[in-house]
Amino acid sequence: MTLDKVHQYIENLFTSRSEIAEEMAQFAKENDVPIMEPSGIETLLQLLRIQQPQRILEIGTAIGYSAVRMAEALPEAEIVSIERDSERARLAKKFVLKSGFHKQIHLLEGDALEISDQVAGFGDFDAVFIDAAKSQNIRFFELYEPLFSASACIYTDNVLFKGLVAEQSGTESRNVKQMLRKLDRFNQWIADHEEYHTVILPVGDGLSISKKK
């Protein structure tokens, strides 16, 4: 059985989503908005259920899909989510309000590299989910590291980028090649980090999980 068939089999087992999550996923599909792949989001949610963080920071809201899914899975957690694109931030506010989790999810509009002082007002974070500009993963990590709690787990999505980080075909565009180099640099950097234990799971588009030693 090929790896693709294994992934498809697993994804077919987890097709149940709430009405609002289905609506958001359909909107994302119809409007080419990137959201986590089914196996990726289900893995993230299960890890968060095990961890039970009290406060979560999400870098890269998009339309709020993952934030809503996290709120559904962890009704006691406070979620702070950052989005720099004004239209996506507007849509996220609309969907979060419709979901009923608007008191649990705090949406901040702005560049995550520029509003760390504002984020710091919420306190330390037990879980951090990085799902924004892939070339900035190291900068996101280092900038927000002072806000990680002592037991924090950091989850980073898209670290394998359709498998191209491990095996490039040679036909990628210049921009894609540059991004792949930066993703590989992040993977090597976090794997060698002296202060964190890290694993990368080949689920969804590649999910990195780092925990303070």
Known binding positions: 36, 66, 83, 111-112, 131, 157-158
Distance of alpha carbon 168 from the chain centroid? 23
CB 144 within 8 A of CB 163: no
User: Quick check: helix, strand or coil at residue 88?
Assistant: helix
Output the six-digit token pair for 20: 């609002």
Return the CA Rg of the chain. 17
* Residues in the annotated binding site for S-adenosyl-L-methionine: 36, 66, 83, 111-112, 131
Beta bridge pairs of residue 81: 58, 107
Query: How far is 32 from 26, CA to CA, in rounded Å?
Result: 10
* Residues in the annotated binding site for Mg(2+): 131, 157-158
Ranges assigned E (strand) in 75-167: 78-83, 105-109, 125-130, 148-157
Binning the chain into helix, strand and coil, the percentages to the nearest 5 are: 45, 20, 35
CB 33 within 8 A of CB 63: yes
